[in-house]
Amino acid sequence: MAHHLYKYGEFEINDKPATLYQLEGRFAFINQLTWYNNKLDGEKHHFQRLCSRERQYQKFLFYKYFFANPKPLIVTEGKTDVAYLKSALKKLYNEYPNLITKNSNGKFEFKISFLNKTKRLKHFMGIFQDGGTALKNIYDFFDSKKSDTTNYLSFFKKTSNTLPINPVILMFDNEIHSGDKKPIGNFLNHAKLDEKKREDLKHKNFVDIIDNLYLLTTPLIGDKSECDIEDLFEDSVLSHKIDGKEFTKKDKYDVSKYYGKEIFSKYILTNYSSINFTNFRTILDNIDNIINTHRKGGAGAGHDLEEKNIDMISAGKVLLEI
């Protein structure tokens, strides 16, 4: 059943077209016993050392989220980054019709998706809630040479005889100047990006890595040598007090004097219409550029493999639900 999906982009249950939800339900049921036993034995279970049943589920999750993703997918370094990007898109929706639309009822529809880092993805793929380690682990499934990580991109390309339609974009804070002391520098060394791609990243803030996998950083503002995503907000927003407390980007702080990123992101989501997102335009422009480049085959998409007699875009809309 799963193999038929991977090979042809569709499958049936009881002679009727089936969805990814149905197949994932079967995977989840099969893995319930393994999950329960893992809890009982008291040992730590690493995503790179799963049993055979768990590896089949891991393979399915890669297919669902990173190979057959029906929309361009953004995976952020920080867990609050998604709130900032969604808020910026809502404020600037008229400028980015390929990324977001607003219907007659005033409801926004995102044409891109943001990875929800669930406990399931943490267990099966090492995708943690926060930090750059999750993005390194995702990369390994695309281009790993390590014996303990399966290169699923290569597997699905060979099995389906197609290339993925939509890009997967890994987004980091722009802290390249600090080298591998910061997540982006650590990632660049881990992925062994050559000097040309590193220079392209510094100048354009995005670069293709392999097939549908791309790397994106925040732009540098003013004369700063490094910028995290919060630096894109105006000082008046960053200095906003809530219940008499000031905002801090630090992970550890005095809660009687400061509030952190989680509360700040909720403030941004609630008040996006009155906030200036000018400095976010570069990120949104680059996301738009990546999507357009990938769909035109600029990163090699769709050129090397035989075109299959299947409408994968339609299949994505009907069968590949997320």
Do 118 and 154 have their domain in common?
yes
Residue 304 has pLDDT above 50, yes or no: no
Instruction: Give 284's pLDDT tier (boundaries 50, 70, 90).
Output: very high
pLDDT for residue 302: 38
Do 153 and 244 have their domain in common?
no
Are 164 and 67 within 8 A, CB to CB? yes
Are 25 and 60 within 8 A, CB to CB? no
pLDDT for residue 42: 55
Do 158 and 85 have their domain in common?
yes
The C-alpha atoms of residue 278 and residue 275 are separated, in whole angstroms, by 9
pLDDT in tens, 191-232: 999 999 999 999 999 999 999 999 999 999 999 999 999 999
Is residue 320 one of the residues assigned to a domain? Answer: no
Quote the pTM value.
Answer: 0.88
Pairing of strands 206-210, 100-102: unpaired
**Domain membership of residue 120 as a residue range:** 2-234+276-310
Q: Which two tokens stand for residue 125?
A: 């793929």
**Which residue's structure tokens are 């890009």?**
167
pLDDT in tens, 50-93: 788 889 999 999 999 999 999 999 999 999 999 999 999 999 99
Do 76 and 216 have their domain in common?
yes
Of 265, 249, 245, nearest in space to 257 by CA: 245
Do 184 and 252 have their domain in common?
no
Is residue 321 one of the residues assigned to a domain? Answer: no
Is residue 319 one of the residues assigned to a domain? Answer: no
Q: Which two tokens stand for residue 108?
A: 């926004």
Do 212 and 263 have their domain in common?
no
Q: Which two tokens stand for residue 8?
A: 């042809």
Do 240 and 148 have their domain in common?
no
Do 265 and 179 have their domain in common?
no
For 111-148, letters b (16+ CB in 10 Å) and e give: ebbbbebeebbebbbbbeeeebbbbbbbbbbbbbeeee
Instruction: Give 243's pLDDT tier (boundaries 50, 70, 90).
Output: very high
Of 84, 74, 159, nearest in space to 117 by CA: 74
User: Which comes out higher in pLDDT, residue 11 or 224?
Assistant: 224
Do 21 and 140 have their domain in common?
yes
Q: Which residues are CB-contacts of 241 (< 8 A; sequence separation ≥ 6)? A: none
Do 22 and 156 have their domain in common?
yes
Do 170 and 254 have their domain in common?
no
Residue 147 has pLDDT above 80, yes or no: no
Do 197 and 82 have their domain in common?
yes
Q: Averaged over 32-44, what is the pLDDT?
A: 58
Report the number of distinct structural domains present in the chain: 2
Is residue 242 one of the residues assigned to a domain? Answer: yes
Of 131, 92, 104, nearest in space to 287 by CA: 92
Is residue 48 one of the residues assigned to a domain? Answer: yes
Q: Averaged over 183-189, what is the pLDDT?
A: 96
